[in-house]
Structure 1
Amino acid sequence: MPTPSHIRFIINPTSGTKSRVNVADRIEILLDSKKYKHEVVYTEFAGHAPQLAKEAADKGYGLVVAVGGDGTVNEVARGLLHSETALGILPKGSGNGLARHLKIPMSLDAAIRTLNTGHVVNIDSGSINNHPFFTTAGIGFDAYISSVFAGNKKRGLQTYVELVMKEVLKYKHMPVKAIINDNTLETDCYVMAFANAAQYGNNAYIAPLADIEDGLLDVCLVRTLDLVKALNLSYCMLTKQLANADSAEYFKTTHVKVSAERPMMYHADGDFMGEASEFEVHMNPLSLKVLVPKSIN
């Protein structure tokens, strides 16, 4: 009888929403032991998950499962890039952008059962200033909110929405020069989002037409923002529609260069990365294997 495939579960004990459910116990109960043998490990510090994931890939594990939010998923996926080991996700965060795009269930038990029945596909990844991302990256307002959110003791969607509502009309746009599809664009920039997947998380769709397997970035540029534009953008993000041309512009490309007059904040998958005045954003086509529900091709 063949040896069952080996899974490593990487759990971030501090990730996202709080729950009294013992994840390791649910895995023990629901994971198909005839198909898989498994182990559970816990992250101990920021940056630990990529090490644990790469170690598993180097040992030839078939699947490494990130148990946590978008930050944990990003770290685990970084350790698996360009390997033969697939990423699995048990979403335990407040946004769960990649899991939602891939239609992985938000219920822990249902997500574990997906591991038993799902199949592996290849998806694209992106990089911003050499830092990988799998859902979205961005400069400007969304990065600013990421920086404020990172320092906030309260987590969750309500806290995030409260921060956005408080800051959205205070934040000031900045002049930038962007090179997109070999065209130079000198423009104001309130936010420039680089989308591999369609949404930030929580079903807030910044790039509704984004395809995670097409090798292209979907770029959303908001030059300036007032109350009318903010309301239009919010409505469109929540209803999975493209904003009108007065509010946002969209581009498809493989590579973007941006330079700003002074340093701007940027993020990758919602994690604040710092500030820079020069940005290089690239696509890496079909660079990550991911386990998805059987209904997803």
Structure 2
Amino acid sequence: MVTEPGWAARALLIANPRAGARDRRLIDQVVAHCEGLVPHLDVVHTEYQGHAEECAAGAFAAHHDVVIVLGGDGTTREVASGLARTGLGQPAGKRPAMINIPLGTGNSFYQEIWADAPWREVLDQALSGEHPHLRRVDMAHIREIDVLALLGAGSGLVADVLEVANRMVDVRGRDRYQQAVAQVMSAYAPYEGRVSVDGEVVHEGPVVLVNIGGGRYRAGRFKLLPHSVIDDGLLDVCVVGGQMGVRELAGLTRDGSHIGRPGVVYERGSRFVVERTDGGRLSFEHDGELRTCDVSRYTIDVLPAVLPVLAPPTPPGPGPAHASGAARLAEGVA
């Protein structure tokens, strides 16, 4: 049931018709629902990579109160990057807020904010009423390629799986990634690397996986950074060394139980350097997008509170790992 229009007078809806679900009927349903909540709704269907970022970057000048993303994590990252870059230097209260509705394969950011809440209820809650509830989300800046990451970035196993998955043109959705994981795990070899956090080396030697970010989930199902909070002003890093087998790791990351195991380093900080030390190319990805640059080192910096995101008043999920940054500090978790 559509509620009465609320605080948002003007909204931009950016839909990716090529996202994982590929169901145009859902796009039509979301548009119709939003029209009952927002007096003025502009709708754009993305046509090429980077289009969503361009559209989001223009939302401030067009006086949109909110940008609604209908797509997967890749489209959501593009919109987040466009909003964050444009919003730098602007008053916090004047920036358009973002909300994403899942239409992709992983939908990790939606899960991060809204858990498994139905999208209609999410839109009603976020867009109705007199005042929105916002979380000012941190993002990561990858210096060497000047890219903003929303969920996370890393090297090793995840990037190698993406490289294999991208070659599987006849398989779609999560089946493609499952097959790629099976193929990579059958003959995976760690690389020699080094990871530093705020100038201190936290790992040097064989590396199976490095993941850096503010989101708990990757690919919608793997809890690689279970203690991470998206708005605490810091990023978390998990480094899995060569002591752990990749088959064991795949099972443990389903619920975050890889943390504390031998060979696993978990830290928090503001600046991270990931290097490959054996002279080879460092496989690297961010938000599920593979980077094939011929480099052996990446530097990742946190950009605190750069993205206003519509959210429920209480973050989903129990326990200190899901509390706000201030609450975690008070509990001694941070």
TM-score when scaled to structure 1? 0.90
Instruction: Choose the corresponding residue for 1:17, options 15, 18, 21.
Output: 21
- Partner residue of 1:264? 282
Q: Secondary structure at the match of 2:280?
A: strand
- Aligned residue number for residue 291 of structure 1: 310
- Count of matched residue positions in the alignment of Structure 1 and Structure 2: 293
CA–CA separation in structure 2 for the residues paired with 1:158 and 1:114: 33
* Higher relative strand content: 1
Alignment of 1:52 onto 2:68? no
**Residue type matched to 1:239 in 2?**
D
Residues 161 and 280 from structure 1, CA distance in 2 versus in 1: closer, same or farther, beyond 3 angstroms?
same
How big is the shift at 1:201? 3.1
Q: Secondary structure at the match of 1:102?
A: helix
Does the alignment pair 1:142 with 2:142? Answer: no
Report which structure shows greater RCO (CA 8 Å, sep ≥6): 1
How far, CA to CA, are the matches of 2:207 and 2:60 in structure 1? 40
Cα distance change, pair 221–4 in 1 and its aligned pair in 2 (3 A): closer
How much does 1:3 deviate?
Answer: 9.2
Name 2:92's counterpart in structure 1. Answer: none
Identity of aligned residues (%): 22
Q: Where does residue 240 of structure 2 map in the other structure?
A: 222
1:235 aligns with 2:251: yes
- Correspondence 1:196 to 2:214: yes
CA RMSD of aligned residues (A): 2.3
- Report whether the alignment pairs 1:99 with 2:110: yes
Shift of 1:196: 1.0
Aligned with residue 204 of structure 2, among 160, 169, 186: 186
The aligned residue for residue 177 of structure 1 is 194
- In structure 1, how many angstroms separate the alpha carbons of the residues matched to 2:155 and 2:166? 16
SS of residue in 2 equivalent to 1:264: coil
Write the deviation string for residues 58-79 of structure 1: whole angstroms up to 9, x where unpaired.
2221111111001000111111
- Which segments of 5 or more consecutive residues in structure 2 lack a partner in the other structure? 1-5, 88-94, 316-323, 325-334
| Counterpart secondary structure, 1:290 | strand
Q: Which portions of structure 1, spanning 4 or more consecutive aligned residues, are displaced by more than 4 angstroms?
A: none
Please state if 1:73 is matched with 2:85: no
Q: Displacement, 1:218?
A: 1.0
Distance 1:264 1:38 in 2: 43
Q: Which sections of structure 1, spanning at least 5 residues, go unmatched?
A: none
Task: Classify 1:74/1:218 alpha carbon distance in 2 versus 1 (closer, same or farther; 3 Å).
Answer: same
